[in-house]
Amino acid sequence: MSLAFDDYGRPYIILRDQGQKKRMKGLEAYKSNILAAKAIANTLQSSLGPKGMDKMLVSPDGDVSVTNDGATIVEKMEIQHPTAKLLVELSQSQDAEIGDGTTGVVVLAGKLLEQALTLLDKGIHPLKISDGFDRACDVAIKHLEQIAEEIDIQANDHEALIQAACTALGSKVVSKRKRELGKIAVTAVLDVADLTRKDVNLDLIKIQTKTGGSVEDTRLISGILIDKDMSHPQMQKEVTDAKICLLTCPFEPPKPKTKHNINISNAEDYNKLYQQEQQYFIDMVKLVKNSGANIALCQWGFDDEANHLLLQNNLPAVRWVSGTDVELIAMATGARIIPRFQEITPEKLGKAGSIKEVQFGTSNERMLVIENCQCTKAVTILIRGGSQMIVDEAKRSIHDAICVIRNLIKDNRIVYGGGSAELACALQVLQYADEVSSVEQYAVRSFADALEGIPSCLADNCGLNPITSVAQAKSRQLSEKNPRIGIDCMDLGTTDMKEQRIYETLSSKKQQIQLATQVVKMILKIDDVIAPDDY
């Protein structure tokens, strides 16, 4: 520590903390980074596949989550190592782009790093390993496009979409009800999809959770469901041909922004003040009524006086509607969000077929359903479950299924699951390795071994012998020239994934291989780490 002075003569202290930091260079840095990232991948390895295990995560404030969704697990883990955080970002980018395959992408990255560590021990330069992985990745992607099949998403009452949703839901807590939930997800997506443009606006699908009941009680509502009820218990519970006034200003008298005192010396002055306050409310209600609105939805609260006046004027109202719900209602009903009462006009009102209050179960909890919206077909999936943990996991599962269906609508090419696509790519990469005459040949072969790690991991999680299962599948793929042979995880008696109807989108599989390769290349380029001593 030393004392110094700036240009104006002010003293400041220089702390020398370089000695408290640790520096790793070269092979030591490579190995440290690889081992840290591998630790994350190994944690997720047992969650891969239809029989993968769930993880229980307890947050610092005691909240418990039970899930096998890769993105959720790594997001909630308290990870300190900066290289390990790259795998967290890897899983999140897969989740943001595709919505499914978050566990697989991290496991594949872990297998690639495992192979990279072996090659480093052989003395091969990290950049040569990166180049070999890059070349092998290109070969694998090209082969995926060759073995991909196009499916008709309209045929047989959208059966192909339902099967894709079932594959996504097969590894989740809700797998016992995957068919029913798959149908709900498909119907929801098709209701809001623009099939001519091959576009799906997921903002129009609201997923609402409510504890109580069971997962079987989950249902699709053709409209918007908001977790609110009418502001007064005596207001009418159903409004047909609704003209909606959507407000972001409170039903309250205006408040001056400066502090002030009012001295009232007699009853006459008090009555005048009371009358003026009443007039504010009367004017507000009058402005809403005069516009032709027959229901008001407000983002803020009401004064009790205003609530009573709304009831007297036969104007149903809802308060404390969330900002996201206000935006969704505006999109679906064509309403304009109104920030001031003076700006209310008939043109700014939204239109819906009906708004009604519904009650669930024996509890006194009520919700509002807005149906037959004017502008767009908005839908809500109401998820029920015995506990908050089950409801949360069901929500994540249905989100994954919805993303898979959206991806199939955008690009209807699929590859088969059960590790068959990875095995087919591994065999193609091995064949290509024989043509590489440089050192990269070792890296290309290692890439193929890493791809084989996925079916091996699937077999292990299902209680099968991984070595025997992978060897048999490889042998059959080569002898029958059938890239659909994979691991029979569900013990159905056939290893042909087409017969088992297990498949996923081509875009998801391509993204997994590309993202995992990119992250591994990034980690292999780090050769110098300066970090705190407790790192």
Active site residues: 69, 102-103, 400
Is the Cβ–Cβ distance between 204 and 325 less than 8 Å?
no
Query: Which of 521, 390, 485, 515 shows the shortest CA–CA distance to 96?
Result: 515
Query: Which of 160, 27, 52 shows the shortest CA–CA distance to 102?
Result: 52
Alpha-carbon span 54 to 100, nearest angstrom: 16
* Torsion angle (degrees, nearest 10) of CA 448, 454, 456, 458: -160
Q: How many CB atoms neighbour CB 303 within 10 A?
A: 16
End-to-end CA distance of the chain: 23
The tokens for 172 are: 């989740």
What is the C-alpha radius of gyration for the chain, rounded to an integer number of angstroms?
Answer: 30
Q: How many CB atoms neighbour CB 295 within 10 A?
A: 24
Query: At residue 96, what is the residue type?
Result: A
The tokens for 348 are: 């700014």
Alpha-carbon span 178 to 188, nearest angstrom: 15
Alpha-carbon span 332 to 310, nearest angstrom: 25
* Residue 413 φ/ψ, nearest 5 degrees: -90, 140
Query: Which of 229, 210, 216 shows the shortest CA–CA distance to 382?
Result: 210
Residues 6 or more apart from 239 whose CB is under 8 A from it? 294, 295, 316, 354, 355, 356
Count Cβ atoms within 10 A of the Cβ of residue 132 and give its class: 0-12 exposed, 13-18 middle, 19 or more buried. buried
Residues 6 or more apart from 14 whose CB is under 8 A from it? 1, 2, 3, 4
Crossing angle of the two packed helices 126-147 and 506-524, in degrees rounded to 10: 180
**What one-character-per-residue DSSP string does 372-429 give?**
EESSS--EEEEEEESSHHHHHHHHHHHHHHHHHHHHHHH--EEEETTTHHHHHHHHHH
Query: Which of 291, 420, 387 shows the shortest CA–CA distance to 66?
Result: 387
